[in-house]
Structure 1
Amino acid sequence: MKENTSTPLTLDGSTGEGGGQILRTGLALSMATGRPLHITRIRAGRPKPGLMRQHLACVQAAVAVCGGQADGAELGSQTLQLTPGAVRAGDYRFQIATAGSCLLVLQTVLPALMLADGESRVQLSGGTHNPMAPPFDFLERAFAPLVRRLGVGLDLQLQRRGFYPAGGGEVLAHITPAALPLTPVNVLERGPLMNGWADALAPGLARNIPYRELETLGQRMGWTFEADQLRQPATRQNEGPGNALIATLEYAHITEVFCQLGERSLSAEQVAKRLVDEVRAYQRSSGALGPHLADQWMLPLALAVWRSGRAAGYTCTEVTQHTATNAQTIAQGLPVRVQITPAEGAMHVEISPAP
C-alpha cells in the first residue's frame, strides 16, 4: 500500500449532506488503505441521527472483510472507531433483517474486495429496491460495467427482489480483483444512443398498475410494447408487494438507469411522469453520467487513480451535495485531488494523484 497506514482517517459525519454516505465511504477507505477510521457525529444531518440497522450492517460487514475491530458499533451510536486488519478474500453472507438496502452494504465492501488477493462471493439479503438507495437494476446495468472497465470482474445475480417494507431480497455478487493494477478510464462522452427501454415491476399488485405506468411512459417517450421498449418482467415466488418503474438508456460509452418507486399516494400515471421528468433532465445535459452514477463511480475511480498513479475523469449532468460530500471524503482518505469544474452543458470531475 502507498498510503501511510499509521495516520488515522478522521471524519465529521455532519459534513455536507450529513448522511450515511460519509460512513460508508469512510469504512471503504479505511479497509482499502489500512488506515484506522474515527468518525464522529454520524448522520447528524438526519432526523434520526446515528447508526440505523442498515448502517450497522455496513460496519459489521466491513469488520468481517478486514478482520478489524470496531468501537461504537451499536444502534444509535454517533461515534465509531474502526481499526482495520488485512482485507481477506472469501465467501461472505450479509443480511439486513429489515428492508434496508443490502446493495449499500455491497458498495461498502466492494472497494476493498476489488483490491483483495483473490476472488470473493458475497451473498446479500435485504432490500433491493429502496427509497434513497440504488436499485439492483442500476448496479447491474450502469455501475458494474464501469467497474469492469477498471479490470475488475464484477458479476451480479438477482435471486429475489425485496421491496419496502417486507425486504427479503437476495443478491449474489462475484468479485474478481484485477490481474494487473487497476486501470483508470475516462468517461467524457455518452456516444450515440443505442437502445432505450422501460421495465415495470409490480409483484403482488393489481396487474393494471404496471400496464398504466408503461402506457403513460410510452406516450411521453415514444416507446412501444411492439418494439419491446415497454416490458413487464416476470416476478419470482413470494416477491412483493412493491412497485418500481425503471428506464434504461444504452449509449455507446455508458448506460444510465433511472428509477421511480410507487407509493400509495401516487397514481401509476404520476409515477411514470416523475420518471420521464428524470430521464428528460438527463437528456437535456451533455454529461455522460447522471447524478447518482456520478456519485457512486467516484470512489472506484479514485482507487484506480491512487493505485496506478494516473489521472482520469468523467463528465456528469450535475454535482449534487451528496457527490460534493463524497469528493471531500475521498480526498481526505486517499492521496488524490478531486477537481470539479463546469464544462459545456455538464460538469467535469477530474481525479489526479496528489502532488
Structure 2
Amino acid sequence: MITIDGAQGEGGGQILRTALTLSMATGKPFQIDRIRAGRAKPGLMRQHLAAVRAAAAVCGGRVAGDEPGSTRLRFEPGPVRAGDYIFAINSAGSTALVLQTVLLPLALASQPSSLVLRGGTHNGNAPPFEFVDRALLPLLRRIGLAVTAGLKRPGFYPAGGGQVEVAIAPADDPLRPLDILERGESRGRSAEAILANLPFAVAQRELDTLRAALDWPVGAMQPRIETQADGPGNVLAVTLVFEAVTEVVTGFGERGLAAETIARDVAGRTAAYLGSGAAVGPFLADQLLLPMALCRGGRFSTVQPTAHTTTNLAVIGAFLDDIRFEVAAAEEARWTIGVSSARWDDAPIRTMTAAP
C-alpha cells in the first residue's frame, strides 16, 4: 500500500488525480492523507469526488473515504474495463480534470472506450477545452494514444452544464517517447474571445487590447459567440502553432474584472512564453509528465518548473521507482525535463484489462 501526503508541495487536487491514474495503470493501491489540507476548504470537493468515482467505475476499484470534505482516501484498483461511460459532475467542476484521471488507463486498455463528460468545460482553475483539444491531445496522439474529443456544449463557471464527448481507441504498443526541445517554425497564431450571454463589446475590448499589446494583425483576432451555454461566460484564448508543439494561453472573465485587465494578463503570459524560447509552457508541462512516465522516456524544454510540476513528479516517483526524471536549467528562462528508465529492456506499462 502506497501512502501519499496530500499536503506535500503544491498540495492540491492534482496529487489525488495523479495517484488515481497511476494506481489504475500499475495495479498498486494507495492511501492519501491530509487531502488539500492547506486549502481554504480542505478535503474532497465535488469535482475531486467525480474523479474518484470515475476511476472506481472504470476499474471496479474499492474506495473508502469518498465523502465531501474527507481528508483521507483509500483506493484499491481492479482491472481496467474499457467501455462506454457517462460521468456527470453536476456543477461547473472541470470535465478536463475527470478526463485527465481516466484517459491514460483507458487508452492503455485493449478495447476502445467512449466518454460523455458533463459539467464545466471552461473553468479558471482547470485547463479549458481548447487547451486540451489543441495543445494536449495532439501530443498524446504523437506518442501513440488514439484519442479525439469534441465540445458538444460549453459549460462556464458557475453555471456548468457543458458536455464533452471523447473517443479512445487502444494505444500503440509500444508508446513512442516525445522529444520536444525546440518549437520549430511558427505555423500560425490567433486569438479568440469566447462569449456566452454577455455583451459583444466585452469581446471587442479584449481583442483590441490584446492586439495592441502583442502588435498582431486584425485578422488574427476573432470573437466566438456561444449560444447554447446555460449561463454567462467569457474566455480569451491565444493559440500559438509551431512545427513541434501548439500552446494555448487563456484568461477567464470574472465579475468585476475589466476586459482590458484580462487581455493584458494574457498578452503578458503569451509574450513571456514566446520570449523564453521553451517549447512547452507551465500547464502543458504538468500534463506531459504522466504520459512520459508511462512511456519510460522522452524530454521537453519548458519554463521554470512550478510547484505544481515538482509535486506531480514526487507523486509519480512514489508509484514508479524504476524511472528517473531529470530537471535541469538550460538557460535563465528555459529548463529541460526528461525521463529515463532504470531498465531500458522493460516493456512500457500496460493496464490490467478485465476480460470482456
TM-score, structure 1 as length reference: 0.94
Identify the residue that residue 25 of structure 1 maps to in structure 2.
18
Identify the residue that residue 343 of structure 1 maps to in structure 2.
330
Matching of residue 162 in structure 1 with residue 148 in structure 2: no
Unaligned runs of 5+ residues in structure 2 are 344-356
Q: Which amino acid aligns with 1:250?
A: V
Paired with 2:310 and 2:292, the residues of 1 have a C-alpha distance of 15
TM-score, structure 2 as length reference: 0.94
Deviation for aligned residue 1:224: 3.0
Task: Tell me the secondary structure at the aligned position of residue 265 of structure 1.
Answer: coil
Paired with 1:219 and 1:337, the residues of 2 have a C-alpha distance of 44
Task: Tell me the secondary structure at the aligned position of residue 196 of structure 2.
Answer: coil
Task: Tell me the secondary structure at the aligned position of residue 292 of structure 1.
Answer: helix
Identify the residue that residue 173 of structure 1 maps to in structure 2.
166
Task: Tell me the secondary structure at the aligned position of residue 202 of structure 1.
Answer: strand
Task: Tell me the secondary structure at the aligned position of residue 324 of structure 1.
Answer: helix
Identify the residue that residue 254 of structure 1 maps to in structure 2.
245
Paired with 2:224 and 2:342, the residues of 1 have a C-alpha distance of 46
Deviation for aligned residue 1:239: 4.4
Identify the residue that residue 4 of structure 1 maps to in structure 2.
none
Query: What is the total number of aligned residue pairs between the two structures?
Result: 341
Q: Which amino acid aligns with 2:308?
A: H
2:317 counterpart (312, 323, 331): 331
Paired with 1:134 and 1:346, the residues of 2 have a C-alpha distance of 22
Identify the residue that residue 133 of structure 2 maps to in structure 1.
140
Paired with 2:89 and 2:68, the residues of 1 have a C-alpha distance of 13
1:130 counterpart (104, 111, 123): 123
The residue correspondences of 1:204-243 to structure 2 (distance < 5 A) are 204-225=197-218, 227=219, 229-243=220-234
Q: Which amino acid aligns with 1:353?
A: S
Matching of residue 268 in structure 1 with residue 259 in structure 2: yes
Contact 1:31–1:87 (8 Å) recurs in 2: yes
Q: Which amino acid aligns with 1:340?
A: V
Contact 1:142–1:293 (8 Å) recurs in 2: yes
RMSD: 1.1
Identify the residue that residue 42 of structure 1 maps to in structure 2.
35
Identify the residue that residue 184 of structure 2 maps to in structure 1.
191
Unaligned runs of 5+ residues in structure 1 are 1-7, 306-310
Task: Tell me the secondary structure at the aligned position of residue 233 of structure 1.
Answer: strand
Deviation for aligned residue 1:136: 0.4
Q: Which amino acid aligns with 1:104?
A: L
Paired with 1:266 and 1:252, the residues of 2 have a C-alpha distance of 35
Task: Tell me the secondary structure at the aligned position of residue 163 of structure 1.
Answer: coil
Q: Which amino acid aligns with 2:173?
A: L
Matching of residue 244 in structure 1 with residue 240 in structure 2: no
1:16 counterpart (9, 20, 26): 9
Paired with 1:239 and 1:40, the residues of 2 have a C-alpha distance of 36
Identify the residue that residue 283 of structure 2 maps to in structure 1.
292
Identify the residue that residue 315 of structure 1 maps to in structure 2.
301
Task: Tell me the secondary structure at the aligned position of residue 270 of structure 2.
Answer: helix
Q: Cα deviations across residues 119-166 of structure 1 (Å, max 9, x unaligned)?
A: 110100001111211000000000001100111111010001111110
1:354 counterpart (318, 339, 342): 342
Paired with 1:50 and 1:301, the residues of 2 have a C-alpha distance of 29
Q: Cα deviations across residues 26-62 of structure 1 (Å, max 9, x unaligned)?
A: 0000000000111111111211111000000000000
Q: Cα deviations across residues 85-109 of structure 1 (Å, max 9, x unaligned)?
A: 0001110010111111111000000
Identify the residue that residue 351 of structure 2 maps to in structure 1.
none
Identify the residue that residue 347 of structure 2 maps to in structure 1.
none
Q: Which amino acid aligns with 2:39?
A: R
Contact 2:180–2:279 (8 Å) recurs in 1: yes
Q: Which amino acid aligns with 2:109?
A: A
Task: Tell me the secondary structure at the aligned position of residue 179 of structure 2.
Answer: coil
Deviation for aligned residue 1:336: 1.3
Paired with 1:132 and 1:342, the residues of 2 have a C-alpha distance of 27
Q: Which amino acid aligns with 2:339?
A: I
Give the percent of matched residue pairs that are identical in Structure 1 and Structure 2. 49
Paired with 1:17 and 1:45, the residues of 2 have a C-alpha distance of 9
Query: Using CA pairs below 8 Å that are at least 6 residues apart, which structure has the higher relative contact order?
Result: 2
